[in-house]
Amino acid sequence: MQLENLNPLFNFDEMPKQELVNSILTGQDILSVSQFDRDSLSYIFRRAREMREMVHRVGGTNLLAGRVLACLFYEPSTRTSSSFIAAMERLGGSVIPITQGVQFSSVSKGETLADTVRTLEQYADTIVLRHPETGAAKLAADYANVPVINAGDGAGEHPTQALLDLFTIREELGQIDGLKIAMVGDLRYGRTVHSLTKLLMQYNVSLRFVSPEILRLPMTIMNQVIDKNIPVRETHDVADVIENADVLYVTRVQKERFSDLSQYEDVKDHYEITTEIMAMAKKKMVVMHPLPRVGEIHYAVDNDPRAAYFRQVQNGMYIRMALLAAVLGRA
């Protein structure tokens, strides 16, 4: 989001900050959390709260009537695809849902990503893309003439998930600055962890990374954390962090990211959040998970009021409503 790349007819000095942020988002690709600063995050969060209030009061609006969203998912998805579809429909828009596997599309005939997005832009006003290869969203945006929203690209980033994660932390605990945040599980391949960590670097937080050795956070991201002088520590044991954590962000060990399945078998059950573990935690804290889970949080924990992962899911729809409205210029 570089101001110098935007329409020079805007007089940014005379625009209220809220309108300025909206103007910056209008027509823009959403590819990385690096596009967002604290002002734009605050703007999106305000809009998400308004969307939540509107949904609770009347269910939906015609704000994006006549607009079309193409959901192009090269990987399986439940929450991300469903929440984008629900967000667009609650805003009065329509959806082209290519979410049941591109094996049923022209991709199975060898069509390139570039040609697929250039085809979909003939029908849609924006494209949401999930792809197994890091950098695919940027490639699609380079070819598309409509905004592309990155819904996860391999082990790269998942910006809308990070936005809803940060929003959930803010809504659950009333603040972000000053919090101690522990991330647990697959930190190497977990794109949700990568994106959330980058967003958290803008705040006064302490970070704890809990993982097996082979799933440690990539050094490229760890070095960014260190360069920001953010207090950080790595450990292999949840017990080292649970007593002081304000946020316990748990992730699934992703079988699909392993080329050597024997390594996956060695670490798949490395961490399990149980009621016994939760008994060691603060009375006021939250447990989060981008989902799906495969055993790393026991079902008995669901009854704990600190378990926020299903509220986190709902927040995803409000954040994506806010983003779609802003990107399509109707915020």
Q: What is the pLDDT of residues 176-226, one digit of tens each?
A: 999 999 999 889 888 899 999 999 999 999 999 998 888 889 999 999 999
Place of tokens 């509220």: 311
Please state, in angstroms and rounded to a whole number, the distance separating the CA atoms of residues 97 and 93.
13
Q: pTM value? A: 0.88
Give the per-residue pLDDT at 10: 37
Mean per-residue pLDDT over the chain, rounded: 87
Q: What average pLDDT does range 41-55 have in this prediction?
A: 96
Is the CB of residue 98 less than 8 Å from the CB of residue 70?
A: yes
3-158+315-327 and 159-313 have identical folds: yes
Is the CB of residue 287 less than 8 Å from the CB of residue 168?
A: no
158 among known catalytic residues? yes
Domain boundaries, the chain: 3-158+315-327, 159-313
Give the per-residue pLDDT at 256: 52
99 among known catalytic residues? no
What share of the chain in percent tops pLDDT 90?
Answer: 71
DSSP code of 151? Answer: E
Q: Which of 109-113, 133-137, 271-275, 290-294 has the lowest mean pLDDT?
A: 109-113
Domain made up of 159-313: CATH architecture: 3-Layer(aba) Sandwich (3.40)
Of the options 3.40.50.1370, 3.40.630.30, 3.40.50.300, 3.40.50.2300, the CATH number for the domain spanning 3-158+315-327:
3.40.50.1370
Given 46, 79, 118, 282, the catalytic residue: 79
Please state, in angstroms and rounded to a whole number, the distance separating the CA atoms of residues 144 and 196.
26
pLDDT digits (tens, 9 = 90+) for 133-191: 999 999 999 999 999 999 999 888 899 999 999 999 999 999 999 999 999 988 988 88
> Which of the four pLDDT bands, split at 50, 70 and 90, describes residue 261?
low
233 among known catalytic residues? no
191 among known catalytic residues? no
Given 47, 67, 130, 289, the catalytic residue: 130
Q: List strand residue ranges (DSSP E) for the chain, in order.
A: 68-73, 94-98, 126-131, 148-153, 180-184, 206-210, 232-235, 247-250, 286-288
The continuous run of DSSP H or E covering 17 comes out as helix 17-25
Is the CB of residue 216 less than 8 Å from the CB of residue 187?
A: yes
Compute the half-sphere exposure of residue 171: CA atoms within 13 Å on the CB side of its CA. 21
Quick check: helix, strand or coil at residue 91? coil
Please state, in angstroms and rounded to a whole number, the distance separating the CA atoms of residues 331 and 327.
8
Please state, in angstroms and rounded to a whole number, the distance separating the CA atoms of residues 47 and 29.
18
Closest CA to 119 of 96, 100, 135, 99: 96
252 among known catalytic residues? no
Given 80, 126, 192, 197, the catalytic residue: 80
Structure tokens at 300: 């008995």
Given 158, 170, 270, 320, the catalytic residue: 158
Q: Which residues contact 295 (CB under 8 A, 6 or more apart)?
A: 269, 272
- pLDDT exceeds 50 at position 4: no
> Which of the four pLDDT bands, split at 50, 70 and 90, describes residue 267?
low
Given 57, 109, 220, 283, the catalytic residue: 109
